Amino acid sequence: MKKLHLIGLFIFTLVIIVSCGKKTSVKEMHHPGTEILSEKYEYYTDENGKEIKNGFYEYYNESGKLSTKGKYKKNLRVGNWEKYHENGAVRSIAIFKNDSLNGPYEAFYQDGTTKSTIMYKGGKRNGAYKSFYQNKQLQTAINYRDGKREGIQKNYAEDGTLLFEKEYRNGVPHGLYKSFYKDGTIKETGYYKLAQPDSLWTTFNEAGKIMGTTQYNQ
């Protein structure tokens, strides 16, 4: 009786595995009018005859070089996805969940140095965004909240000097604005209100002398 019970359990488990599994095939496509591979991916055909990407995915450029690789699950991008420069170096690394960016994202120059970094959540930018020049100097720094810029954005020259600061609220310029000369002295100050210049704006020369003022009233 015990033996029959075990056999029945084995058959039941096997039926579940077979019924839940999908037989996949690999498809290759080519760039129009050429024999150059453009796409290669794993898929299965559902009960309606529709092709469903499920498994690895690769895209090749017109030179035949790998441009993108990642993974699909039931036609949705999941897991790690990478893009590549023409020279084969990694262009970007991203993480997808249910076809939306979700997790750290990093982009690179062809020499491998970091170009930008940001976190995604549910397809939207969240947290600190930083971009860099190819010499590794910080170019831009700003925080994102639910896909919108929030707080003070700072932009720098390639030599590392601060160019300007601009305050954002709910994705639009709102608050103080300052720009600077290369020696760090203030070049211009002003204020934004809902993306429009507001209140008093003042410009200075490199010696710190006021060169002009403009009053905005919304």
pLDDT at 9 over 90: no
Under the banding of pLDDT at 50, 70 and 90, the label for residue 218 is: confident
What percent of the chain is modeled with pLDDT above 90? 89
pLDDT at 17 over 80: no
- Condensed to tens digits (0 to 9), the pLDDT of residues 79-118 reads 999 999 999 999 999 999 999 999 999 999 999 999 999 9
Average confidence score pLDDT of the chain: 92
How many whole angstroms separate alpha carbon 216 and alpha carbon 198? 5
pLDDT at res. 21:
58
**Stronger pLDDT, 10 or 174, i.e. the higher one:** 174
**Stronger pLDDT, 184 or 20, i.e. the higher one:** 184
Token pair, residue 95, equals 């993480």
Three-state SS annotation for the chain: CHHHHHHHHHHHHHHHHHHHCCCCEEEEEECCCCCCEEEEEEEEECCCCCEEEEEEEEEECCCCCEEEEEEEECCEEEEEEEEECCCCCEEEEEEEECCEECEEEEEECCCCCEEEEEEEECCEECEEEEEECCCCCEEEEEEEECCEEEEEEEEECCCCCEEEEEEEECCEEEEEEEEECCCCCEEEEEEEECCEEEEEEEEECCCCCEEEEEEECC
Contacts of 124 (CB under 8 A, 6+ apart): 144, 146, 147
pLDDT at res. 13:
32
Determine the CATH number of domain 24-125.
2.20.110
Q: Where are the domains of the chain?
A: 24-125, 133-139+148-218
pLDDT at res. 15:
32
pLDDT at res. 202:
99
pLDDT at res. 6:
38
Average pLDDT of the segment spanning 160-174: 98
